[in-house]
Structure 1
């Protein structure tokens, strides 16, 4: 039985900790590489509305379906059956692991600021350091979920301090003429150009908000169920304000071309342009702290997913085993093992931080979409709405969250969808093994979905995309 260990601040730290990782510190160049000042603002407005709708979906489902303490995995299973539920859990688990790998890659890319030893984060010293980095967080989480959550609160506060200093200094140095010079990116305004620029930023803005469901995944450990929704909404709104300010204020310091050409972490070089080298050092240290905190938040979420799925009989039973501190140790060991495997593959393939986080973002969009669809389903059939006048409102929110998820999948492009299909295809082997001998383990529509995933995976493998 889960221990109810996490209060409101721990849950908020889980949300902010998983959202504010490495992405925030490279927003100036990531956004400028795709869009001018105006489209950047529009992209954040669209992402903000879409993510707010998703956050409200998560909050609503956490209150109306309190028995589904596994969060987005549980919603997919309750709404669309065991196979879709398993696929959601598996995809989210692997996406979380890819998120951890992205943090490891960025951590050692960032260390090159102080030493050339680690190159671009894809050489042998980075691989050895990455393995030690992952094993350290394995040890930390093994000591107990509550203890790790306390440390996560501390790192969350620590990572926000350099960001706030950056925002104050950049706001004071903001130049309106620099901001207006690249307002629409290509000079004159055109809807086609603006639309394309907004579309090209979607994976960046999505990755910046991946982790919004952190409190939902840990809801089974919350002291009070109502804290889950509060932590999700507050964490989202606060983070949205920070991201919007980082992106927009930076366009008033350097031109779009200058921002796009900055190395990682670009926030450091924006601040360096204003105050000199000490500003870059401050941001780089903040990024290293942020990545460390993000790693811990992601680890807390990652080990919880197979644990909850095992309790529901979808993952093997042994994933539900815990140690004396209440940590799911089998889940932790498997999560660490796969993380180390992927870390090695990144080293062999020389994959970039952007490629890894793009795959993680697309993989996690599927569980987001299924959660939004479950909200729509509940509102349509009226379940939990017998004497509740909020049915129409929740239907509209669910539809908005569904539309945003579909739009972002489209914006991601076919290549990443095909690459992610390989991840989901591998998961089906585990599902069939766990469900062997059980009647009706796969329904007609399940087989159709499985067939589509397999075909997409074969196309990806045949095209050398993975």
Structure 2
């Protein structure tokens, strides 16, 4: 988290924030998740779709940073500027909630990683012991952050090395043992895997591609700290290109080293299992150590992002003023308390989940789609209006096309996710509206416009259906 007193952020620093935000837990789970769903052919199509959609979204973030430099903490602020107060709130709440769910996923991944070495104790990351260890970890980090420990730059240095070195070692290992015949055998599906249509194969990979791209807005979240506003957009594109290359390599190269069925069966984090198939047990140990350090670092970063989103939303009157308070170490303490209480409740809930690991991953992905959709929609509105394009009118048509593609992509992601996850997200959004009502009453402002009332009614209906599904067992987490 940047401290205004520490100066402004340079382009390399902003780029590192994008890379650091994106390279967290998801990249270590790509081999197994993709191998379960598809072979290399389907994976290539999936990455083309995801890469194109997310590149367009990155270009929208770039355009908005340049054309609306007056808007800070862009993810939800853009939604408010384009679609009004309630949609701005939903975007802020959705982004915060998705970040909380992502933090839960980190702890499940830590438990699953430890479960590779202590299966009877940690299991798949949702055992009672794993939950207790996770809760201890959450609150240990909480009190560290309250003391301002995030200013210790050596933590970020260690985390960056721990993320990148195991990934590079894994990629080099896969390249060294690359077997063309094995890659060809897996290409259209492989032996021993269930038959699925290509569309179904690609659809089953879509949510993890959203998950691993979460963080693309890392520079935008801290846009108010940038030395030059245009650096926010450039950092977003540079980070996107670098991380996409890493993710595609980690996904495709394992198909050339082992049968798809073997990769699909490895325990999470699947990159550890995939490398173990190639080089032996030391490969799994190396990746697991990298995962533990990387995920703990990512958890620190995202805890701060969660608090920053609530803090910024409270400052702009989209959340109750309570969350705009900072302690003497300039940490948004109340926002941090709410974040970690919610994270703790979600961690406890994983005990009753059939597959806590993938469930939390998918929920995080779907929750992130709402803010992304609203950002893309605002990109369309801004390009059509011409605001900010006074000196560059020739860019309006191009930016509008980019934004429309980003809108279509995020809508496609909602369809690919399936009704189950959309309904579960609305279940979480309904009680969140209490915070909106609280904030509006503090300002003596009108609660809903007629259009916002319709949106709230639809959200309420979806939440009721989702809650009914959970209570009756029609929807299982």
Determine whether 1:8 maps to 2:8.
no
When structure 1 is superposed on structure 2, of 319-328 and 420-429 the one drifting more is 319-328
Give per-residue Cα distances to partners, 1:321-353, cap 9 Å, x unaligned: 112332211111111111112112223446511
Q: Secondary structure at the match of 2:317?
A: coil
Give per-residue Cα distances to partners, 1:237-259, cap 9 Å, x unaligned: 11100110111111101122111
Which 5+ residue runs of structure 2 have no aligned equivalent?
none
Moved over 4 A (4+): 1-5, 348-351
Residue correspondence of structure 1 range 185-264 to structure 2 within 5 A? 185=189, 193-264=197-268
Displacement of 1:236: 1.0
- What is aligned with 1:412? 417
Q: Call closer, same or farther: CA 1:145–1:55 in 2, change over 3 Å.
A: farther
Determine whether 1:454 maps to 2:460.
yes
Is the 1:145–1:325 contact (alpha carbons within 8 Å) kept by the matching residues of 2? no
Distance 1:61 1:353 in 2: 34
Q: Call closer, same or farther: CA 1:153–1:367 in 2, change over 3 Å.
A: farther
- What is aligned with 2:444? 438
Q: TM-score by structure 1 length?
A: 0.95
2:397 pairs with one of 384, 392, 398? 392
Q: Secondary structure at the match of 1:121?
A: coil
Distance 1:160 1:41 in 2: 23
Q: Secondary structure at the match of 2:272?
A: helix
- What is aligned with 1:142? 146
Distance 2:328 2:416 in 1: 45
Displacement of 1:195: 2.2
What RMSD over aligned residues (CA atoms) do the two structures have, in Å?
A: 1.9
Distance 2:87 2:33 in 1: 34
Distance 2:85 2:264 in 1: 45
- What is aligned with 2:112? 109
Distance 1:8 1:379 in 2: 25
Determine whether 1:170 maps to 2:196.
no
Q: Secondary structure at the match of 2:448?
A: coil
Give per-residue Cα distances to partners, 1:98-129, cap 9 Å, x unaligned: 00000011101111122232222222221221
Residue correspondence of structure 1 range 280-319 to structure 2 within 5 A? 280-319=284-323
Q: Secondary structure at the match of 1:463?
A: helix
Q: Call closer, same or farther: CA 1:5–1:157 in 2, change over 3 Å.
A: farther
Is the 2:86–2:436 contact (alpha carbons within 8 Å) kept by the matching residues of 1? yes
Displacement of 1:214: 1.5
Q: Secondary structure at the match of 2:197?
A: helix
- What is aligned with 1:27? 30
Distance 1:11 1:144 in 2: 21
Give per-residue Cα distances to partners, 1:28-76, cap 9 Å, x unaligned: 1100111111110111111111111111111211222122111111000
Distance 1:203 1:161 in 2: 26
- What is aligned with 1:356? 360
- What is aligned with 1:39? 42
Determine whether 1:321 maps to 2:330.
no
Q: TM-score by structure 2 length?
A: 0.92
Displacement of 1:224: 3.4
2:379 pairs with one of 365, 375, 379? 375
Q: Secondary structure at the match of 2:104?
A: helix
Q: Call closer, same or farther: CA 1:109–1:398 in 2, change over 3 Å.
A: same
Is the 1:184–1:194 contact (alpha carbons within 8 Å) kept by the matching residues of 2? no
Distance 1:13 1:241 in 2: 15
- What is aligned with 2:20? 17
Distance 1:27 1:57 in 2: 26
Q: Secondary structure at the match of 1:347?
A: helix
When structure 1 is superposed on structure 2, of 321-330 and 84-93 the one drifting more is 321-330
When structure 1 is superposed on structure 2, of 319-328 and 221-230 the one drifting more is 221-230
